[in-house]
């Protein structure tokens, strides 16, 4: 099978991002774009982001995770610390997260250093999750090979009984990572492929802003 997608072509015209329009603080700029996407009501999972890690095999791997919090310190997501990504981050905390919001013709790419959040923060978030999601975290040995789907469903039944009327404790291997950013790129689609790209490098209150060629 051969499929030529050469005619898939879209023109971008919805907005612009100049150095003057961008905020000197990239977190504020991120917040501005995030809220604009949120309030546009056109994006279903605004907080879905692609997380790229360098694996133990030396290959980059990316997958989607959900952003659960952002502030001046960075960007937080939750996962299984024993998963493939968890092991990759333990060996090499340099990661990249990116957002693609096609409805607003925007992309944001953030490089940074990931570290585990405090146990207290992971506990608080875990306890706030719906019971089904809590059980899912207990049931699934994320990224391990399992024999079949029944393996998960049987474990779920056992744990549902066990925690029928008890609070479910957060498994130690499940928690948050905070990504402390050191580089941001904001991409806004423009006509004729002359897109706007504003890159920030640096750290807290010491950001340098530059325009990159598209």
Residue with smaller CB distance to ligand FMN, 29 or 74: 74
Check residue 77 for interaction with ligand FMN (CB under 6 A).
yes
Instruction: Give bridge partners of residue 185 from the DSSP assignment.
Output: 109, 199
One of 63, 115, 193, 211 is an active-site residue; which one? 193
Q: Does 83 participate in binding ligand FMN (rule CB under 6 A)? A: yes
45 touches ligand FMN by CB under 6 A: yes
193 assigned to active site:
yes
Q: How many residues bind ligand FMN (CB under 6 A)?
A: 16
Scanning 76-84, 100-108, 186-194, 202-210 for contacts with ligand FMN by CB under 6 A, the matching segment is: 76-84
If one asks whether residue 79 binds ligand FMN (CB under 6 A), the answer comes out as: yes
Nearest approach, Cβ of residue 62 and ligand FMN (Å) = 8
Q: Does 30 interact with ligand FMN (rule: CB under 6 A)?
A: no
Q: Which of 73, 92, 107, 143 binds ligand FMN (CB under 6 A)?
A: 143
Q: Which of residues 146-175 bind ligand FMN (CB under 6 A)?
A: none
Cβ at position 49, least distance to ligand FMN in Å? 9
């Amino acid at each position: 099978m051969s499929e030529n997608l050469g005619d898939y072509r879209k023109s971008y015209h919805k907005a612009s991002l100049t150095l003057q329009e961008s905020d000197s603080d990239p977190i504020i700029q991120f917040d501005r774009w995030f809220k604009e996407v949120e309030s546009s009501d056109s994006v279903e999972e605004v907080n879905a982001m692609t997380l790229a890690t360098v694996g133990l095999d030396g290959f980059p791997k990316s997958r989607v995770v959900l952003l659960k919090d952002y502030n001046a310190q960075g960007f937080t997501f939750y996962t299984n610390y024993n998963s493939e990504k968890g092991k990759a981050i333990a060996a090499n905390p340099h990661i990249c997260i990116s957002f693609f919001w096609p409805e607003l013709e925007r992309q944001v790419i953030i490089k940074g250093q990931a570290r585990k959040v405090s146990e207290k923060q992971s506990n608080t978030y875990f306890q706030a999750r719906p019971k089904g999601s809590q059980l899912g975290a207990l049931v699934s040995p994320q990224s391990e090979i399992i024999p079949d789907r029944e393996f998960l469903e049987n474990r779920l039944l056992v744990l549902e009984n066990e925690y029928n009327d008890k609070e479910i404790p957060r498994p130690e291997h499940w928690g948050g990572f905070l990504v402390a950013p050191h580089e941001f790129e904001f991409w806004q689609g423009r006509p004729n492929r002359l897109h706007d790209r504003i890159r920030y490098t640096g750290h807290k209150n010491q950001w340098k802003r530059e325009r990159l060629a598209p």
